[in-house]
Amino acid sequence: MFAGKELAKDLIGKIQKTASAIPKDITLMEVCGTHTQTIAKYAIKSILPKNIKLISGPGCPVCVTSQKDIDSVVELALSGVSIATYGDMLKVPGTKMSLEGARQQGSDILIVYSTTDALKLAGSNKNFVFFGIGFETTAPMSAVAIKKGLCVYSAHKTMPNALKILVSSKNTKIDGFISPGHVSAIIGSDAYKDINAPQVISGFEAVDVLASIQMLLLQIKKREKKVETEYSRVVRPEGNTRAKSVIAEVFEPEDTEWRGLGTVASSGLKIRAKFAQCDAKEKFKDTLKHVKEPKTNSACRCPDILLGLAEPAECRLFKKSCRPDNPMGACMVSAEGACAIAYKTG
């Protein structure tokens, strides 16, 4: 059992009592892959009342990166551009191949742990691109590196408009969000104010998640829709103003495609014209214009999983042809991917 056993027992009792006073089924989405890991590690689903369901959301950055972006960076690699990126991105399948496949064909693909590593490796190489993915948590590091001259293919995304899509979609039925702690530390709790749903920004310990579930149930019971912060030891209403300022200096919002959600208005981070010399999409546009519309694996249910419409076990490839050592879709690649977590934890 984890630290905070007595607190956890108390919270479980409160959750059961509050849930019993809500006469309907409730679906809560944990947006962030790190929350999915905590929920799986401590088997939190197994102790929830029958009318409370948890579903995973689009908060794993590797999972939501579009196949078009994967195909584009593979194309750059095959054309002779050196690519640096985070390790998980190598395994995500593209239409022709993954970045790992490009590496096996002789392309220069480098794994980095930070943009500082990428800057060092880039040196004076004019044919060097950092494939930047992730949300408001990783975007400030990319922004700082761009200011220092690193050429970046930006697949960065911002979270609030994606949550609005989930709230307004007819296909999804989400009664409340366990909202991401790391992203919220940057953008602040005020960033979610115009999302019309109960939301609790949660920390990552099991007791944080349990406390957030209880806070959401209390909102639902009282028919409230507001943003609360359980992770108040880190998240402030205004967020991290320095990080937000460097993001705004280097990037501007653009419509962008998310795996699962499709195109989400103003949820991408495009490098501003002022930094065009560091924008791989500008610098290598002649190579990128040859990238065709992606062909997706129709058997892979990642889009449904990222919308909370299916569980990994409902995919016919799960644990058969699709495994962490042979991922057929993005959700099996990252440790934060719902399929990879389900594979490891059962």
H-only helix segments in 95-229 = 99-104, 115-122, 139-147, 160-168, 181-187, 206-221
How many Å apart are CA 93 and CA 171, to the nearest integer? 26
268/312 with CB nearer ligand SF4:
312
How close are the terminal C-alpha atoms of the chain, in Å? 18
35 binds ligand SF4 (CB under 6 A): no
Among 181, 329, 334, 341, binds ligand SF4 (CB under 6 A): 329
- Specify the DSSP element, H or E, that contains 126: none
Q: Which of 283, 76, 162 is nearest to 89 (CA)?
A: 76
- Residues 262-301 touching ligand SF4, rule: CB under 6 A, are 300-301
Which residue in 127, 129, 112, 130 sits closest to 80, CA to CA? 127
Residue 198 vs 327, nearer CB to ligand SF4: 327
Among 195, 305, 306, 341, binds ligand SF4 (CB under 6 A): 305
> If binding is defined by CB under 6 A, does position 244 make contact with ligand SF4?
no
Tell me how crowded residue 93 is: count the other CB atoms within 10 A of its CB: 22
Q: Is 76 in the site for ligand SF4 (CB under 6 A)?
A: no
* Residue 319 to residue 313: CA distance in whole angstroms: 8
Of 40-48, 143-151, 233-241, 321-329: span binding ligand SF4 (CB under 6 A):
321-329
Work out whether 339 is an interface residue with ligand SF4 (CB under 6 A). yes
Question: Judged by CB under 6 A, does residue 322 bind ligand SF4?
Answer: yes
**Which pair of structure tokens corresponds to residue 38?**
């905590």
- Per CB under 6 A, does 60 bind ligand SF4? no
Site residues for ligand SF4, 197-236, by CB under 6 A, read: none
Q: Which stretch binds ligand SF4 (CB under 6 A): 48-56, 174-182, 190-198, 325-333?
A: 325-333
Nearer residue to ligand SF4 within complex by CB, 201 or 328: 328
Q: Of the listed pieces 64-72, 216-224, 281-289, 317-325, which binds ligand SF4 according to CB under 6 A?
A: 317-325
| Span of 25-33, 124-132, 274-282, 316-324 interacting with ligand SF4 by CB under 6 A | 316-324
Q: Shortest approach of ligand SF4 to residue 298 CB, angstroms?
A: 10
Q: How far is the CB of 257 from ligand SF4 (least distance, A)?
A: 17
Nearest to 95 by CA among 128, 76, 77, 69: 69
Nearest residue to the partner ligand SF4, using Cβ: 329
User: Do 130 and 115 contact (CB within 8 A), yes or no?
Assistant: yes
| Closest to 213 in 3D by CA, of 33, 336, 49 | 49
Number of residues lying near ligand SF4 (CB under 6 A): 14
Shortest Å, Cβ 60 to ligand SF4: 11
302 binds ligand SF4 (CB under 6 A): yes
Q: Indicate the residue among 173 and 316 with the shorter CB distance to ligand SF4.
A: 316
What is the closest distance, in whole angstroms, from the C-beta atom of residue 301 to ligand SF4 in the complex? 4
CB of 182 to ligand SF4, least distance (A): 23
Q: DSSP letters along 260-297, please?
A: TTEEEEEEEEEEPGGGGGGBHHHHTHHHHTTPPPP---
Residue at token pair 């948590």: 137
3-state secondary structure of 216: helix
Say if residues 162 and 267 touch (Cβ distance below 8 Å).
Answer: yes
Among residues 83, 151, 200, 315, which is the contact residue for ligand SF4, using CB under 6 A? 315
Applying CB under 6 A, which of residues 332, 334, 336, 341 lies at the interface with ligand SF4?
Answer: 332
DSSP per-residue string spanning 137-172: TTHHHHHHHHHTT--EEEEEB-SHHHHHHHHH-SS-
Q: Could you list the residues that contact ligand SF4 (CB under 6 A)?
A: 300-302, 305, 312, 315, 317-318, 322, 328-329, 331-332, 339
